[in-house]
Amino acid sequence: MMVLNMWFIILLMFILGNVIFISRHKHLLIVLLSLEFIVLSIFFMMIMFLSYIEYNMYMLMIFLLFSVCEGALGLSILVSMIRTHGNDYFQSFNML
């Protein structure tokens, strides 16, 4: 029963992350945080699945490597857009 509750919580995290990502927000930082929330829910999903089939966890290290690179790339894009445009509003990015 506890495993079923964990799967439900992970699925709820994934759905909420997608809803936040799809809804229209003014700031780029909120979109980046929702993407990281989706990645975190996928990470928990992979932990549950790989422990269920009793597989080694090396794939999780590769997934964490790519998710950290994705987060660093998102922050660097955020910093460069703030430096060029002065804010992170999506309304000021229409020139791109």
Per-residue pLDDT tens for 18-27? 999 998 778 8
CA dihedral 72, 87, 23, 16 (to 10 degrees): 40
CA separation, residue 30 to residues 33, 48, 75, 84 (Å): 5, 27, 12, 19
CATH value of 1-90 in 3.40.30.10, 1.10.287.3510, 3.40.50.2300, 1.10.357.10 = 1.10.287.3510
Split at pLDDT 50, 70, 90, the class of 41 is very high
Confidence label for 75 from pLDDT (cuts 50, 70 and 90):
very high
Average pLDDT rounded to a whole number, residues 61-78: 92
Q: Quote the pTM value.
A: 0.84
CA–chain centroid gap for 38, Å, is: 4
Q: What is the mean pLDDT of residues 50-65?
A: 88
Q: Is the pLDDT of residue 96 over 70?
A: no
